[in-house]
Amino acid sequence: MDVEDVENEVLTPPVNESDYRQGPDDAPVTLVEFGDFECPHCGRAYPVIKEVQRRLGDQLRFVYRHFPITTIHPHAQLAAEASEAASAQGKFWEMHDMLFENQAALDEDGLVNNAQALELDIRRFVADLRTHRYANEVREDFRSGIYSGVNGTPTFFINGVRYNDRWDPETLTRALSEASRTHPR
């Protein structure tokens, strides 16, 4: 694949109602992250995204999709399923944040500790993890990443187009601001 092909990669499928979203659906710019809760690069991107959200406010819609790379991150799949189990109890974003803030504790005990801190129904949460109740949801996100040309994490899309530049707060904010003025969602 040459550079031109990578630059033309588009988000497949586009953002929809099944996605986890923060910010208004009619925001002028949408940032999608394909992430892995155990990935150290995603862990470094997490505060950057928070800062960009703070800077852009209602001008930004942020979307998170799972892309657990289980070949090198043995806890990534279960952590993604834990976020889905938390979502079933209305706390996806709270678990999302806790997982990135506690990347060293992504085994089952660590996930249960996070669930307890969020005051989730622990019996239900543990049952969901042990039966892999939400594995299909994670797999669907992963497939969308494959269809979109994702091959590592974090991978970002701005208004549906793959973003391949640096993701420090200044560069990413500048790219998002530019996209909000020039590119349709």
Reported as a single tens digit per residue, the pLDDT across 142-184 is: 999 999 999 999 999 999 999 999 999 999 999 999 999 876 6
Q: Give domain 3-182's CATH number out of 3.30.930.10, 3.10.20.30, 3.40.30.10, 3.40.50.720.
A: 3.40.30.10
Give the tokens for residue 60: 């930004």
CA distance 95 to 163: 26
CA 145 to chain centre: 11
CA distance 63 to 43: 16
67: left (phi over 0), alpha (psi -120 to 50) or beta: beta
User: Which pTM was predicted?
Assistant: 0.93
Identify the band that residue 7 occupies on the pLDDT scale cut at 50, 70 and 90: very low
CA distance 118 to 151: 32
